[in-house]
Each structure stands twice: as structure tokens, then as C-alpha cells.
Homo-oligomer: A and B are copies of this chain.
Amino acid sequence: MVWCRVVQRFSVETTAHSQMVDITPSVIEAVTDSGASSGLCFLHVLHTTAGLTINENADPSVQTDILDGLERIVPFEASYRHREGNSDAHIKATLVGFSEALFIERGSLLLGTWQGIYLCEFDGPRRRQVVVKIVPEG
């Protein structure tokens, strides 16, 4: 068993100021394309006002509740110093995080039943870049 890299990159066009975009299909495609039967899948978003998280893939109102909840925690308007007017997005992204490390088993992502992978847009709409590195085993 050896370490082989498979790096991919995909972009996500967000359409709202705050939005959670389900990127699970893109990640599954990257895993499938790699041919890896088992291993690890690393994701990283190349921005500072968008993040990556995992959450429920069934009821879309969960996404609304997460975005609304984050807005209550870190309001868009507050006494921020940064003049670009997106300080809340920087804080939200740091809270959510920029990376994920997922398991690959039997040729597909090992996710819980209700787990989907989301790009969290906090300062959109924008085009966002996500890089994927797949480390196959065997």
C-alpha cells in the first residue's frame, strides 16, 4: 500500500449573500474519479469568508436555521473596524472552519446517514474554489 495523491479542484457559484451549498455530489465524483477503494479525502476552501461544514442532508430548513443561528451569533452589522463590510463573514468562516478530512471505504465516502458536506457562503454571491486531495490506500 502506497501513498498516491489525486488532487482536484472545483468551483462553486453561490447565489446569495449567505448560503449553504451541498457539495457532496462533487466530492463523491472526485472520490469515484480517483478509483480509490479506501483512504482519506481532504477538502480545503481557498477563502476567508466562506467555510466548509457537515450537516443534515434531508430537511433544507436545517440549513436555514444554521445560517440564521450564525447571523444571530455574529450579526452582519456591529462595530467592526474592517472597512470592507464583511467582518461577520470572516468570523463566521473561522467558527465553521475551512477544511474537512473524510474517510473513504468501499469506494465511497464514509458519511453518516444524514451527513452532507456543505460549502458555507457568508459573503456572496461569489465563485468559490474548493481543493480536494484524495489519498488512496491499497
- Show the binding face of A for B, using Cβ within 8 Å: 1-5, 7, 38-40, 42, 44-48, 53-56, 59, 61-62, 64-66, 68-70, 72-74, 78-84, 87-88, 90-91, 93-103, 105, 110-115, 129, 131, 133, 135, 137-138
Contact = CB atoms under 8 A, between A and B. Distances in A.
Chain A binding surface, main DSSP class: mixed
Given A40-B133, A137-B4, A62 B87 contact: yes
A44 B101 contact: yes
A39 B3 CA distance: 10
22 contacts: A1-B2, A5-B38, A40-B42, A42-B101, A42-B103, A46-B110, A46-B112, A48-B54, A48-B56, A56-B90, A59-B82, A61-B81, A62-B87, A64-B81, A64-B82, A65-B80, A68-B79, A69-B80, A95-B95, A98-B100, A99-B102, A103-B133
